Chains A and B, each alone.
Chain A
Amino acid sequence: MFDLFSDIMACRTNALTRVDSRVKLVSALAVLVAVLCSTHLALPLAVLAACLAAMLALRLPVRLTLLRLAAPAVVVLVLTVVQVFMYGVTPLWTFTLGGCTFTATVEGAWKGALLGARVFGAVSAMLLLSSVTPAHQLFHALRWLGMPKTWVEVALLMYRYVFVLLDETADVATAQRVRLGYAGVSRSLSSLGVLSGTVIVRSLDQSMRTHEAMVLRCYRGSMPFGPLPVLGRKERWLLLLVPLAMAGLCCLAECLGRPQ
C-alpha cells in the first residue's frame, strides 16, 4: 500500500526528474487536455504507449505500474461495457441472458474504445508525471500555476499524513487479524467498521497533535511557503513549446482521422 502512494521513485535521479517540476506539470496538463479533446484513438494510444515506454526506460517496477493502472482499468471496463450495450444502432453481436436480449453495437464499441483510450492515455500521463516528480514539488508547481495556497497547504498535509494513517490502519488491521477479526463475513464486517472508526478517531487525534506542534512554531493560520526557484531560459521555452506541440499533434490527429 505504501508503494502505491509513495513518491519514492520520483526521488531517484534520471533525465526526467532533473526537469523543473513546473515544466513537467504544464506538459502533463497539455497532454491531458489533448488526450481528453481527442476524437480519435490514435493520440490517446500514442500517449499511453509513450508514457509506458518512458516508465519502462526509467526502470519503474512493472508490477507497480500495473497496480497503479488497475483502478482506471476497472473504470475503463465498466465504461466500455456500458457504451457497447447502451449506445449506437448498428448491431455487432446479440445474446440472450435470463430472458433479456443484449445487443452490442458498432458505434458503442468505437465509443467505448475511445473513452477507454482517453482514460488510459490521461492516467498514464499523470502516472509518468507522479513517477518523476516528488509530491511536494508537484504541489509547489500547482501553487505557481495559481492553485490557492490553502489548497496546497491541505494537500501537502494530506500527503504527509496519509502514510502515518496507512501505518496506523495496517497496525490495527493486523491486530484484528491475529485475533481472528476477519474470520467469517459478519466478523469481517464488524472488524472493518471498528477499523474505520479507529482510523477516523486517530486521524482526529493526529490533527490535534499536529496543530499543537504548529502553534508551538508560531503558526498563524497559513503555512509559509518559500520562494520558488527562478525559471531558466530553457524552461521558459519548454513551457511555451510543449503545449504548442501538443496542440499541433492534436490537430494532426484530427486531420488524419477525419473520414474522407
Chain B
Amino acid sequence: MKEDAGSLALSASQVSFSYEEGTCALHQVDFHAQAGEFVALLASNGSGKTTLIKVLAGLLQPQQGTVLVSGQDIRKIAATELYQRVGLVLQNPNDQLFGATVEEDVAFGPRNLGLTENEVQKRVTESLEAVAAGPLRSRAIHHLSFGEQKRVAVAGVLAMHAATLILDEPTAGLDPMGETLMMRLLNRLNREQHITIVLATHSVDMLPLFAARICVLSHGKLLKVGPPEEIFCDHDMLARASLRLPYVSRLLHELKRYDGVPINGLPLTVGEARKQLLELLPEEVLTKPELQALPRPPEEDLS
C-alpha cells in the first residue's frame, strides 16, 4: 500500500501520553514523516521514543493529541488496514518472531490478511529477498543468529506491504558490520521501494549517512527537528539530550581503510564529512537524491 511521494505518511500533533503509574512519557510532541522520507527519532534511553513509536503504530492511545496516517485519524482506521499502512519492527526480535520457521513467521501476516497461498508465498519470497534472507527460509527461528533474526523480523513486516516502516532500535545488539548492513538495508528499502522509514535510535554514528531528517527527543519532549548537519552542529542540545556527536572521522577512516574510498585528510566536522562523502562515495553507498541539494553546512569545528 504505497503513498504518493511528498504527501504526509504519518503525523502526530500535540501528542501526550502518561502511563498508568503516572510517568509522563510524552508531552505535547509534534512529529511528521512525509511519504518516502527517512526520518530518525534520536533519543537516549528512557526519553519516550518507544512510547512515541507505539503511539504512531496505534498500539497506545495518547491521552492528548492526534495521530494521522495518510491524513486519516488512526483511531478511525481498522486494524487490518492500519497495519497494511504502518509496520512496526520491535527492538527485540524474540518479541516479534513467533513462527516455528522463517517461512511460517513471514507468512503469518499475509495469511491473516486472507490472501491466497500463491500470493502468500510470493510475498514471503519477495520479503526474504529484500532483506537478503532467502537462504534462511526453511530454518527454525531459534536456530538463527541475532542479526539474522533482526532481518527476518523486518521481512515479516515487509510482507504486510506497509508503506511506512517504524523501527525501534534496529541496530541494537548488532555487531558493527551488522549495524552497517541493517542501515544499508533500510536505506535500500527507502530508495528502491519508496518505503517511509521512521527509525528510533540512540545510535548517532550512522544517522548522518542515512537519515534525511532527525527529531531529537528528551524527557518526552521534542527538542529539535532538522537535517543531520543542523542537529549535529548543536552540541549543547545534544548534551542536554544525553547524546553525543557521531564518530564521523572514525567512520571515514574505516571507509578509507576497508572500502578504499580515497579520503585525503580526515574531516573534523559533520559538514566536511558529508561534503567529502558526496564527492567520493559511489552511488550505491550514498544515493539519497535529496542529499545532493543540502545547504552548505556551517564551518565550526565539531569533532
Give residues in A with beta carbon < 8 Å to B: 6-8, 11, 134-136, 139, 156-157, 159-161, 163-164, 206, 209-210, 212-220, 223-227
Contacts and interface: CB of A to CB of B under 8 A. Distances in A.
Given A217-B108, A217-B157, A218-B80, A212 B59 contact: yes
A216 to B, nearest CB: 5
B100 A213 contact: no
B142 A206 contact: no
Contacts of B95: 206, 209-210, 212-213
Contacts of A213: 90, 95-96, 98
Contact of A160 (B57, B99, B112): B99
A217 B140 contact: no
A114 B280 CA distance: 79
A220 B94 CA distance: 20
Nearest to A168: B94
Secondary structure call for the A interface:
helix
Contact of B98 (A11, A157, A227): A157
A11 B95 CA distance: 24
Nearest to A213: B96
B88 interface: yes
A224 B111 contact: yes
Interface of B: 57, 59, 79-80, 83, 87-88, 90, 92, 94-101, 104, 107-109, 111-113, 117, 120, 139-143, 156-157, 160
B98 A135 contact: no
A62 B57 CA distance: 50
Q: Which one of B59, B98, B101 has the highest number of Cβ atoms from chain A below 10 Å of its Cβ?
A: B98
B112 A219 contact: yes
Contacts of A216: 57, 59, 83, 87-88, 157
Contacts of B117: 226-227
A160 B141 contact: yes
A206 B98 contact: no
Given A217-B108, A226-B120, 9 more contacts: A135-B100, A139-B100, A160-B98, A206-B95, A216-B57, A216-B59, A216-B157, A217-B156, A227-B117
Contact of B140 (A134, A214, A225, A227): A134
A217 B94 contact: no
Nearest to B115: A224
A69 to B, nearest CB: 23
B100 A218 contact: no
A161 B108 CA distance: 17
A42 to B, nearest CB: 38
A213 B83 CA distance: 11
A225 B280 CA distance: 50
Nearest to A5: B142
B90 A209 contact: yes
A206 B92 CA distance: 10
5 contacts: A11-B139, A160-B142, A210-B98, A216-B57, A224-B112
B143 A11 contact: yes
Nearest to B88: A216
Contacts of B97: 160
Contacts of B139: 11
A163 B142 contact: yes
Contacts of B157: 216-217
Contact of A218 (B104, B113, B120, B143): B113
Contacts of A160: 97-100, 141-142
A226 B111 contact: yes
Given A156-B100, A214-B98, A216-B87, A11 B112 contact: no
Contacts of B96: 210, 213
B101 A136 contact: yes
A21 to B, nearest CB: 12
B142 A217 contact: no
